[in-house]
Amino acid sequence: MIEVKDLQKSFGENHILKGVTTTFEAGKTNLIIGQSGSGKTVFLKCLLGLFDYEKGSISYDGRVFAQLSEAEKRTMRADIGMVFQGSALFDSMTIAENVMFPLRMFTNQSKSEMQDRVDFVLNRVNLSDAHNKMPSEASGGMQKRVAIARAIVNKPKYLFCDEPNSGLDPKTSIVIDNLIKEITEEYNITTVINSHDMNSVMEIGEKIVFLQLGLKEWEGTRHDIFKTENKAVTDFVYSSNLFKKVRKMYLTE
Amino acid sequence: MQYLHNFGAYFLMVIEMFRKPTKWSVMKKLILKDIDDLVIGSIGIVSFIAFFVGGVITIQTALNIDNPLIPKSLVGFATRQSILLEFAPTFISIIMAGKVGSFITSSIGTMRVTEQIDALEVMGINSINYLILPKVVALTLYPFVISIAMFLGIFGGYTACVLGGYATSEDFITGVQLDFIPFHIVYAFLKTFVFAFILATVPSYYGYYMKGGALEVGQASTSSFVWTSVAIILLNYILTQLLLS
Ligand SMILES: Nc1ncnc2c1ncn2[C@@H]1O[C@H](COP(=O)(O)OP(=O)(O)O)[C@@H](O)[C@H]1O
Ligand SMILES: [Mg+2]
């Protein structure tokens, strides 16, 4: 479980997060939603320890990153997997090398142990025959799967995904969303996903945090989101006619 | 103000480069790859340029000496001095600022833009050490490239001289061996080492700290070339003043 308390972050005069408090439970797909530029990526990068923040605290099952020793930070980092928005695969390495990379950095496993684990996770994301391809030769959906494989190869306790289905077609998006959800449940990972995709919200949003103007405007489950009267949420979520209709159907059921 | 900021940030980056080293098994591979990309990959173009510019230096010198009292061997002597002291270490390094420098800036810059650097940092890797140190280590072999440039430059001069009939083969060789001062070699290679460090670090700085997208990668490469050249030329002046006068 990740507990975030009063998280504040600014760049100079530009206050991006103005005190966000929330919790993310293990084994659940937690979604951060909000408009482009609302600070979702900044929030996630604070969780990852890539950004320092001015105020607030983040604890991972009781561990507060800032208070850890160097050795503990290292163990903590080995527990984190991240899927970046553009996949961020190392383009000088093959797909298999990309996936093996965290193992090479964090473990002292033998080459064959690492290879077995890489085979296993690539299989898990349905990419059993792409080992020797370069990332540039893979489609967007494939790159995303490789990024997921790389993020989970070292058996993380925490998985962060920044807009995992941006740039993907609707069908591939759903496949990726469900893959993340299955993996989360299978390995009891605490997963936090940034999204502005309403399909994801409806499909896998077990807990949804809505960020607006640097604050947590609303939180709840995907079922709550149909019933909420919060205007900011309904304006954002039901901006398309399709979702307006879906909501109407849900409420009259 | 901005210059001062860049200057300070550059030095902090250089210090950071030696902190928290990457696993040796991983680092070794990175160094070998950079030797291949930066050193081996430059030998072709450097050889080509050195040979032909060496030839031109000789022809120019020969054409400017039409006084019968000056011995023909001077052509060989002047060619050797210009190539050893300036052309090979400095001029070739400026060309390398374009070739190797823009390669380094754009490859590190692309990694920044596509969040590959963030991906390294998330894994607790000191990305400055991981990305930049291998380039510095690889370019300690840069003097080897410059030796080739020295040799081929003088050989190009010799070829042009003999083919063009400006002096005999014996005259040229006598000139090349004339008044040889070993310290000049020390001076030339000291410069080369300093330039190698600049060539590895200044373009890395422009790539590592860039912001924006693909367009900015191009702009960063341009700034990188300009400031790498400026640094090389200023350091050339300072080192020459310190070592030769
Ligand atoms: N490294 C940075 N330096 C300065 N400002 C930044 C930086 N990263 C993000 N921002 C600013 O933070 C705001 C929120 O950005 P971001 O978190 O990327 O939004 P989102 O992911 O919700 O689309 C933007 O206004 C952006 O300009
Ligand atoms: Mg974002």
Tens of pLDDT, residue by residue over A85-102, are 999 999 999 999 999 999
Tens of pLDDT, residue by residue over B173-192, are 999 999 989 999 999 999 99
Tens of pLDDT, residue by residue over A38-89, are 999 999 999 998 899 999 999 999 998 888 888 888 888 889 999 999 999 9
Q: Nearest CB to B115: which of A49, A74, A88?
A: A88
Residue A137 clears pLDDT 90, i.e. is over it: yes
Q: Are A68 and A91 in contact (CB under 8 A)?
A: no
Residues bordering ligand 2, an ion, CB closer than 5 Å: A 41
pLDDT at A75: 86
Check pocket membership of A12 for ligand 1, CB cut-off 6 A.
Answer: no
User: Are A105 and B119 an interchain contact pair (Cβ–Cβ within 8 Å)?
Assistant: no
pLDDT at B52: 97
In a domain, B7, yes or no: no
Check pocket membership of A211 for ligand 1, CB cut-off 6 A.
Answer: no
> How many Å lie between the alpha carbon of B25 and the closest alpha carbon of chain A?
9
pTM assigned to the model: 0.90
Chain A contact set for B111 (CB, 8 A)? 90
Residue B66 clears pLDDT 90, i.e. is over it: no
Tens of pLDDT, residue by residue over A231-249, are 888 888 888 888 888 888 8
Q: If we measure between CA atoms, which residue out of B56, B245, B233 comes closest to residue B161?
A: B56
What DSSP assignment string belongs to B45-96? HHHHHHHHHHHHHHHHHHHH---TTS-THHHHHHHHHHIIIIIIIIIHHHHH
Name the amino acid, one letter, at B88. A
Instruction: Give the Cα separation of A104 and A110 in Å (integer).
Output: 9
Residue B234 clears pLDDT 90, i.e. is over it: yes
Which atom of ligand 1 approaches the CA of A211 most closely? Answer: 22
pLDDT at B29: 93
Ligand 1 centroid to B18 CA: how many Å?
A: 30
Highest mean pLDDT among B2-6, B232-236, B241-245: B232-236
In a domain, B19, yes or no: no
**Domain boundaries, position B64:** 25-244
Structural domains of chain B, count: 1
Chain A contact set for B23 (CB, 8 A)? 104-105
Structure tokens at B187: 């001076």
Mean pLDDT of B15-29: 92
pLDDT at B174: 94
In a domain, B216, yes or no: yes
In a domain, B13, yes or no: no
Give strand pairing partners of A193: A31, A161
Q: What residue's CA is closest to ligand 1, atom 27?
A: A37
Residue B91 clears pLDDT 90, i.e. is over it: yes
Instruction: Give the Cα separation of A122 and B140 in Å (integer).
Output: 39
In a domain, B100, yes or no: yes
Instruction: Give the Cα separation of B24 and B28 in Å (integer).
Output: 6
pLDDT at A43: 95
Q: What residue's CA is closest to ligand 1, atom 6?
A: A11
User: Are B123 and A86 an interchain contact pair (Cβ–Cβ within 8 Å)?
Assistant: no
User: Are A90 and B25 an interchain contact pair (Cβ–Cβ within 8 Å)?
Assistant: no
> How many Å lie between the alpha carbon of A13 and the closest alpha carbon of chain B?
18
Predicted complex ipTM: 0.90
B 93-112 → A contacts, CB under 8 A:
110-111
Beta-carbon contacts of residue B130 (< 8 Å; ≥ 6 apart): B22, B26, B27, B30, B120
> How many Å lie between the alpha carbon of A79 and the closest alpha carbon of chain B?
9
Tens of pLDDT, residue by residue over A220-231, are 998 888 888 888
In a domain, B157, yes or no: yes
Q: Looking at the CA of A162, name the nearest ligand.
A: 2
B29 touches chain A (CB under 8 A): no
Q: Are A40 and A214 in contact (CB under 8 A)?
A: no
Tens of pLDDT, residue by residue over B195-210, are 999 999 999 999 999 9
Beta-carbon contacts of residue A135 (< 8 Å; ≥ 6 apart): A87, A89, A90, A91, A93, A95, A98, A143, A146
In a domain, B4, yes or no: no
| Poorest-pLDDT segment among A98-102, B34-38, B69-73, B114-118 | B69-73
In a domain, B154, yes or no: yes
